[in-house]
Homo-oligomer: A and B are copies of this chain.
Amino acid sequence: MKNTFGQSLTVTVYGESHGSAVGAVIDGISPGIKIDSDYIDKKLAMRRPTGLISTGRVETDEYEFLSGVYNGYTTGTPLNITIKNSNTRSGDYDNLEVVPRPSHADFTANQKYGGYQDYRGGGHFSGRVTAGIVLAGAIISSALEKKGIKIGTHIKTLHGVADAEFSDYEKDIEKLNARHFPALCEEKEDAMKNEILKARENLDSVGGVLESAIIGLPCGLGEPWFDSVESVLSHILFSVPGIKGVEFGSGFQFADMYGSEANDAFIYDGESVRTKTNNNGGINGGITNSMPITVRCAVKPTPSIAKAQYTLNTSTLKEEKLVIKGRHDPAIIHRARAVVDACLAIAVADLLTMRYGTDYLGR
């Protein structure tokens, strides 16, 4: 519902890039989830910019619980976690109202909110708001991990550079969650970073594809119409700025396959029923089948580039050369990884809460 995701466990995000705070409210979270500040800090760090591959705007990300936590555990009542903004340079964004940045939300926000929006730094559309998602996701995923449900994301490709494939999901997820740059292969990491630095030198930006895996989910989550697992996950993923494509399992590759190649035969591995292949990415008919969920997100190149661009002055209706001031990310895909992980955790928690009830995650 608007700025709220979920049905049984819901997350609302609030805040503007240059307003006083950003954060999230979680409603319907189980009581009894331990707040692990080291874990939360680790997740925030994955999203935080570092070095030349990211923006120079560094926020300290000091969060505070306004409600819903007592004695180090979730209480079960609405949990409001907030980060005060700092290190904002509003002057950088003075003319966005009139000269909208290409491929940003400046123009559409103005159309939607009739000029009342806080346009500074993208306002509520800013990637800054994803800090609230990462916080909510961190609290939730720490509870999921206790149930053996693990989520990991790597950069599958970045402007032509392809990472290694997932081989052992459990180990690969563990490895990814220990690394600041989300590549499985260290050589590929260097090649990817070089692509980013090259884009930076050219005052440009690059995108790529993120690939995530979720393991440990029970069978039977999701609904046939219209809350298939793909529907629920894509819903939250497509709200992440820059994500313009989502595919599950073999995704767009299915288009060139025969049914006999695409079908995943059921087998028994001595312990449980699974499928021989996983072209369906762990989901049959919209319902989890206990195989790993695999999902890929196309992330477009950061629209804020340092290079001069031509766009429209919506006041004069004349073309205008625009040089975006402020600090830019030559790529956001490595930081978006933390947001994608958080989104997946939130969506999965909602599905689990609906199926098993409001106390499930805290038990």
For A363, the closest partner residue in chain B by CB is B114
Chain B neighbourhood of A280, CB < 8 A:
103, 244, 300
Instruction: Check A60 for interface membership: any CB of B closer than 8 A.
Output: no
Number of A residues contacting the other chain (C-beta, 8 Å)?
Answer: 154
B301 touches A227 (CB 8 A): no
B250 touches A247 (CB 8 A): no
Chain B neighbourhood of A310, CB < 8 A:
265
Q: Interface stretch among A15-23, A48-56, A143-151, A169-177?
A: A15-23
- Whole-angstrom CA separation of A10 from B223 in the bound complex: 14
Picked from B25, B354, B356, the residue with its CB within 8 Å of the CB of A12 is: B25
Which residues of A88-117 are within 8 A (CB) of B? 100, 102-105, 107-109, 111-114, 116-117
B303 touches A259 (CB 8 A): yes
Secondary structure type dominating chain A contacts: mixed
What's the least CB distance linking A336 to chain B, in Å?
A: 12
How many copies of this kind of chain does the complex include?
4
Instruction: Check A73 for interface membership: any CB of B closer than 8 A.
Output: yes
Binary interface profile of A, 210-246, with partner B (CB < 8 Å = 1, else 0)? 0000000001101111111011101110110101111
B258 touches A103 (CB 8 A): no
B67 touches A124 (CB 8 A): yes
For A80, the closest partner residue in chain B by CB is B14
B285 touches A125 (CB 8 A): yes
A298 touches B254 (CB 8 A): yes
Instruction: Check A190 for interface membership: any CB of B closer than 8 A.
Output: no
Q: Which 9 A-B pairs have the closest CB atoms?
A: A105-B285, A245-B247, A205-B259, A108-B287, A31-B116, A230-B238, A112-B220, A70-B118, A259-B301
